[in-house]
Amino acid sequence: MSKTPQTKRDFIAEHVRTIPRSGIRDFFDIVQSMENVVSLGIGEPGFVTPWHIREAAIYALERGKTGYTSNFGLLKLRRGISRYVRDNFAVEYDPNTEILVTVGVSEALDIALRATINPGDEVLYHEPCYVSYHPSVVLAHGLAKAIQTRAVDNFALRAEDIAATVTSRTRAIMLNFPTNPTGATLTQGKWKRLRAPAWTTICW
């Protein structure tokens, strides 16, 4: 049993205490407080959400569409997603049973990790990368292990680096291609040659 909390910090779960503050968020907050500075801190489109999307959201509010939907998300939207991934990526997912809508990547990643990782399982991810992957694994009680990629290889994943990081406790690998911030890519054919069969692959 854990000891009785003595300080405010002690109230925070031990695994959460190990997670550092996000430097990019600190930077973003500083830039927000300054006049005439363009913030390149957070990756966002350089345009406002197109009007037809904003209009649809406003119209839905006007019609009182403010209640819960299915936990999977609206079926109409899931059907649209199913068509989109079929037409663009040649993969078939059943909108009734195989698609779940989240508010973004972070929620999807969190759900995927918590659904697949047992405490102490190792999850591999490639660096340099977006800031939240390591903490997401820690929050799911997994052990995050980075695979370094290098400019000289255009930040591609190398089989020997995966092999050097993988152990019998490796449960999953997270793949972010094209990678933020390096722009590295990975083809399906190359991944098939790199991949160990027993892994869960979480990609976006």
For ligand PLP, the binding residues (CB under 6 A) are 43, 104-106, 130, 176, 180
Q: Shortest gap between Cβ of 180 and ligand PLP (angstroms)?
A: 4
Cβ closer to ligand PLP: 53 or 105? 105
Least spacing, CB of residue 4 vs ligand PLP, in Å: 36
Q: Is the CB of 25 or the CB of 83 nearer to ligand PLP?
A: 25
CB of 145 to ligand PLP, least distance (A): 18
> Of 149 and 176, which CB lies nearer to ligand PLP in the complex structure?
176
The residue number with the shortest CB distance to ligand PLP is 104
Q: How far is the CB of 17 from ligand PLP (least distance, A)?
A: 23
Decide whether 106 or 200 has the Cβ nearer to ligand PLP: 106
3-state per-residue secondary structure call for the chain = CCCCCCCCHHHCCHHHHCCCCCHHHHHHHHHHCCCCCCCCCCCCCCCCCCHHHHHHHHHHHHCCCCCCCCCCCCHHHHHHHHHHHHHHHCCCCCCCCCCCCCCCHHHHHHHHHHHHCCCCCEEEEEECCCCCHHHHHHHCCCEEEEEECCHHHCCCCCHHHHHHHCCCCEEEEEECCCCCCCCCCCCHHHHHHHCCCCCEEEEC
